[in-house]
């Protein structure tokens, strides 16, 4: 075991506290990674604020990049010094979901090693990761090599924000050339849903948000049009028709209630951003049934790391995928609570803590 610093949540809704914790050595199929950067995902904020429950004390964080420090005896394809991204996707590789190319829904991911402190107190490494820390020990399935060409803040965004938004369009919705897409919410995940729809060849990619500033930012990532929330689906109809796909990337209940209104017949709304546990949404089943519409969930963009990460890095090398542009601000570890508060205020695209 080794001693590292971690940002520990001891009470929901309270600031995180930097504490020394004991990080376990990697077991047979595990990897220990010294982190360079970790992005603040809204999921981390939701957990820290108590929206999804979870054991306390806990260390959140799941969108990271760093260098391999040590590997278990069963890891033969990584060596110390390799640069990798770290995700929450822990997968066995053999269950029905993994064998079907859906590791994000692994049925038997196994137990994640926890953290402790000098007093023996158990501290949960939340989301199978615990990356609000100087280092992590995770399963081999949770890392993917990223090489040296992407700066740490942008590379960290690949671990969740990019694959979640882009994957929702490419992997889950399977957007086809000529489709019309609506992306509700132009934060970090929403901008990547825009990028995914662009890469898939969508004819129209309509960004929806509260301000013109957010809509203009989405156009820089590939949106063809922008519609203010206040305009609603009427703003989309003025462009020609309703959408084949509507990606709801924010967790506000009103956005889910409104989702069917964006859809053309046989259109589907995708639940990309998630609200607090217990949130309910309403829709008209007669209308949705008559027009053949649907709701569908998507977790981490249904990503397969070994398949998708090399492709995404190649797109970045070609100038077809924006990564560095996603980063709004960087913070030292000592200011992680400032970074969390910025996410709560919906400031920026991705705020990143750099070690």
For residue 165, being part of any structural domain is answered with no
Strand partners, 263: 243
With residue 311 as reference, give the H or E element that holds it. helix 305-317
Please compute the mean of the pLDDT values over residues 222-233 and round it to a whole number: 95
Please compute the mean of the pLDDT values over residues 145-151 and round it to a whole number: 93
272 has a pLDDT exceeding 90: yes
With residue 23 as reference, give the H or E element that holds it. strand 17-23
Please, what is the average pLDDT of the chain?
Answer: 95
Q: What gap in Å lies between CA 286 and CA 55, rounded to an integer?
A: 41
Q: Are residues 32 and 135 in the same domain?
A: yes
Closest by Cα among 334, 351, 295, 338 to 6: 334
Q: What gap in Å lies between CA 152 and CA 262, rounded to an integer?
A: 37
Q: What is the pLDDT of residue 278?
A: 87
For the chain, helix (H) and strand (E) counts, in that order, are 11, 18
Please compute the mean of the pLDDT values over residues 69-91 and round it to a whole number: 95
In angstroms, what CA-CA distances link 163 with 169, 276, 304? 10, 22, 9
Q: Are residues 92 and 180 in the same domain?
A: no
First to last CA, the chain: 20
Please compute the mean of the pLDDT values over residues 208-231 and round it to a whole number: 95
Q: Are residues 293 and 311 in the same domain?
A: no
What is the CATH number for 272? 3.40.50.720
What is the CATH number for 311? 3.90.180.10
In angstroms, what CA-CA distances link 75 with 104, 123, 135, 151, 158? 21, 26, 18, 26, 23
Q: How confident is the model at residue 287 (pLDDT cuts 50, 70, 90)?
A: very high
Q: Are residues 154 and 251 in the same domain?
A: no
Which of 259, 279, 297 is the last residue before a domain boundary? 297
The two tokens of residue 119 are: 């007093």
Percent of the chain with pLDDT over 70: 100
In angstroms, what CA-CA distances link 312 with 40, 65, 106, 192, 223? 21, 15, 23, 12, 19
Q: What gap in Å lies between CA 112 and CA 25, rounded to an integer?
A: 12
Q: Are residues 150 and 100 in the same domain?
A: yes
Dihedral angle computed from the Cα positions of residues 253, 102, 196 and 308, in that order, rounded to the nearest 10 degrees: 140
Percent of the chain with pLDDT over 90: 90
Q: Could you read off the pLDDT of 233-250 as tens digits, one per residue?
A: 999 999 999 999 999 999
Q: What is the pLDDT of residue 195?
A: 97
Q: Are residues 85 and 116 in the same domain?
A: yes
Please compute the mean of the pLDDT values over residues 42-49 and round it to a whole number: 93
- What range defines the domain where residue 54 resides? 2-160+302-354
Q: Are residues 22 and 112 in the same domain?
A: yes
Q: Are residues 34 and 96 in the same domain?
A: yes
Please compute the mean of the pLDDT values over residues 251-269 and round it to a whole number: 93
Q: What gap in Å lies between CA 227 and CA 97, rounded to an integer?
A: 38
DSSP 156-211: HHIIIIIHHHHHIIIIIS---TT-EEEEE--SHHHHHHHHHHHHHT-SEEEEEESS
The total number of structural domains in the chain stands at 2
336 has a pLDDT exceeding 90: yes
Q: What is the pLDDT of residue 347?
A: 86
Q: Are residues 85 and 125 in the same domain?
A: yes
Q: Let me know: does 86 contact 35? Beta carbons within 8 Å.
A: yes
Q: What is the pLDDT of residue 135?
A: 97
Order of strands across the sheet that contains 294-297: 225-228, 204-209, 180-184, 243-248, 263-271, 294-297
Q: What gap in Å lies between CA 211 and CA 350, rounded to an integer?
A: 18
Q: Are residues 212 and 331 in the same domain?
A: no
Q: What is the pLDDT of residue 251?
A: 86
3 has a pLDDT exceeding 90: yes
Return the beta strands (E) in 192-262 as ranges.
204-209, 225-228, 243-248
Q: What is the pLDDT of residue 245?
A: 98
For residue 204, being part of any structural domain is answered with yes
Q: What is the pLDDT of residue 281?
A: 87
Q: How confident is the model at residue 211 (pLDDT cuts 50, 70, 90)?
A: very high
The two tokens of residue 259 are: 């989702």
Q: Are residues 190 and 326 in the same domain?
A: no
Q: What gap in Å lies between CA 187 and CA 347, rounded to an integer?
A: 9
Please compute the mean of the pLDDT values over residues 100-124 and round it to a whole number: 91
For residue 21, being part of any structural domain is answered with yes
Closest by Cα among 103, 107, 20 to 59: 20
Q: Are residues 65 and 24 in the same domain?
A: yes
Q: What is the pLDDT of residue 49?
A: 93
Q: What is the pLDDT of residue 283?
A: 86
CB under 8 A, 24+ apart: contacts of 99-107: 101/304, 101/307, 102/302, 103/141, 103/304, 103/305, 104/299, 104/300, 104/302, 104/303, 105/299
For residue 108, being part of any structural domain is answered with yes
The two tokens of residue 18 are: 């930097």
Q: What gap in Å lies between CA 200 and CA 179, rounded to an integer?
A: 9
Please compute the mean of the pLDDT values over residues 9-14 and round it to a whole number: 95
Dihedral angle computed from the Cα positions of residues 236, 272, 15 and 59, in that order, rounded to the nearest 10 degrees: -160
For residue 169, being part of any structural domain is answered with no
For residue 43, being part of any structural domain is answered with yes
Closest by Cα among 206, 141, 199 to 166: 199
Please compute the mean of the pLDDT values over residues 219-223 and round it to a whole number: 96
């Amino acid at each position: 075991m080794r001693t590292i610093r971690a940002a520990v949540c001891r009470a929901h809704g309270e600031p995180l506290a930097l504490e020394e914790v004991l990080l376990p050595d990697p077991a047979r199929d595990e990897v220990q990674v010294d982190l360079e950067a970790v992005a603040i995902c809204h999921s981390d904020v939701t957990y820290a604020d108590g929206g999804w429950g979870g054991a306390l004390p806990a260390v959140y964080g799941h969108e990271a990049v760093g260098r391999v420090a040590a590997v278990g005896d069963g890891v033969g394809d990584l060596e110390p010094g390799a640069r990798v991204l770290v995700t929450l996707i822990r997968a066995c590789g053999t269950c029905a979901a993994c064998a079907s190319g859906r590791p994000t829904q692994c049925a038997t991911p196994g137990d994640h090693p926890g953290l402790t402190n000098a007093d023996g107190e158990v501290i949960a490494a939340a989301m199978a990761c615990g990356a609000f820390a100087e280092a992590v020990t995770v399963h081999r399935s949770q890392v993917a090599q990223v090489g040296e060409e992407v700066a740490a803040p942008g590379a960290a965004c690949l671990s969740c924000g990019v694959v979640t938004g882009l994957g929702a369009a490419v992997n889950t919705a399977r957007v086809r050339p000529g489709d019309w897409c609506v992306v509700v919410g132009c934060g970090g995940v929403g901008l990547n849903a825009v990028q995914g729809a662009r890469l898939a060849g969508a004819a129209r990619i309509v960004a929806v948000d509260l301000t013109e500033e957010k809509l203009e930012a989405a156009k820089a990532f590939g949106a063809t049009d922008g519609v203010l929330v206040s305009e609603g689906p009427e703003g989309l109809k003025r462009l020609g028709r309703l959408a084949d796909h509507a990606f709801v990337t924010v967790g506000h209940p009103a956005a889910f209630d409104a989702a069917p209104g964006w859809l053309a017949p046989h259109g589907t709304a995708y639940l990309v951003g998630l609200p607090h546990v217990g949130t309910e949404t309403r829709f008209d089943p007669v209308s949705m049934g008559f027009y053949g519409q649907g709701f569908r969930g998507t977790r981490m963009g249904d990503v397969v790391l070994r398949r998708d990460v090399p492709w995404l890095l190649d797109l970045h090398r070609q100038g077809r995928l924006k990564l560095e542009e996603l980063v709004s601000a960087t913070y030292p570890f000592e200011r992680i609570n400032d970074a969390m508060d910025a996410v709560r205020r919906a400031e920026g695209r991705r705020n990143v803590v750099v070690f």
